[in-house]
Amino acid sequence: MRAALKVVMAATFAMPAAAALAKSPDCASWPTNMALVHLKNAGLIDIPSVLEAQTKAVRLASERIGKDLYQQVYDITFHTKDGKTIEVVTNSQASSEECSMSGVEIYVVSTKIGGSAGQPSDGTTKK
């Protein structure tokens, strides 16, 4: 009985750690916030003009590169009150404990070509 209880307790305490490692963390806020700061510093966006509710971050990839470490790539689109749209792709590392395991590399998407590229990402509108 005592041995069975130890096994059940060990399994119970091990499950949350195993579950945390099994799923890639959702860390969209870290690269989104860092991208916004870098865009502001580069003079590409005015933070008060950003329509936060319309900001969209889509995780393109999340690859496990360590015990609890993931390389993550996000496509983030910002919209401003004056109708401007700025799209970036970010690359950073995250864990289940901390989204900011590395700095964030930020690439501004200037033009989409091919596929269903419909709109350029430089703030202009295709008519």
- pLDDT tens digits for range 44-94: 999 999 999 999 999 999 999 999 999 999 999 999 999 999 999 999 999
What lies within 8 Å, CB to CB, of 87 at 6+ separation is 75, 76, 77, 78, 108, 109, 121
The yes-or-no verdict on residue 125 having pLDDT over 80 is no
What lies within 8 Å, CB to CB, of 102 at 6+ separation is 92, 93
The pLDDT of 8-25, averaged and rounded, is 51
pTM for the whole structure? 0.73
Closest to 83 measured CA to CA, from 40, 119, 39: 119
Q: Which of helix, strand or coil describes residue 25?
A: coil
Please report which helix (H) or strand (E) contains residue 5, including its range: helix 2-22
At 116, phi and psi to the nearest 5?
Answer: -105, 50
More confident residue, 93 or 120: 93
Q: Which of helix, strand or coil describes residue 3?
A: helix
